[in-house]
Structures are given as structure tokens and as C-alpha cells.
Amino acid sequence: MISYEPLWQTMKRCGATTYTLQAKAGISSSTIRRMQANESVSTNTLDTLCKFFNCELDDIVKFQPDEK
């Protein structure tokens, strides 16, 4: 499973909010909701986030094996 926990930590460290993602990075509210639910988003969205925060992909997402 892909987790967006690193994104929330990056946002906190940078003082960003979900409103910041919408207003300044152009991320839609529906995409933010999908990330909050650890659902899939496009690689374009991941690219936008990395550029906005000037960070690496592992600052946005991490892989967690599914629990069985």
C-alpha cells in the first residue's frame, strides 16, 4: 500500500496546509481527499508536489506492505 504520511510531515515542516496545496500548487480538493485516504493519484500530481516542495518522492509517499 502507498502511504502519503510523508507528505503530511513535509507539509507540517514547511508550514503548508491543504489550502496551500489547492491555492498555490493547484492540487484539487478531490485529489487531496484521495491522498488523505491513501488512494492512488497521478504521477503528474506527485511530480507537482515534488516541484512545489522542492523535495524527493520519498518526502511525499512511502510503500507499506499490506497486512494479511
In a domain? residue 68: no
pLDDT digits (tens, 9 = 90+) for 31-67: 999 999 999 999 999 999 999 999 999 999 999 998 7
**Domain with 40 in it: what CATH number?**
1.10.260
Parent domain of 49: 2-63
| Residue 34 lies inside a defined structural domain of this protein | yes
**Count of domains forming the chain:** 1
Identify whether 13 is part of a domain: yes
Answer yes or no: is 16 within a domain: yes
- Cell readout for 7 is 507528505
Interval 2-39: pLDDT, tens? 999 999 999 999 999 999 999 999 999 999 999 999 99
Provide the whole-model pTM.
Answer: 0.90
Question: Is 33 within the bounds of a domain?
Answer: yes
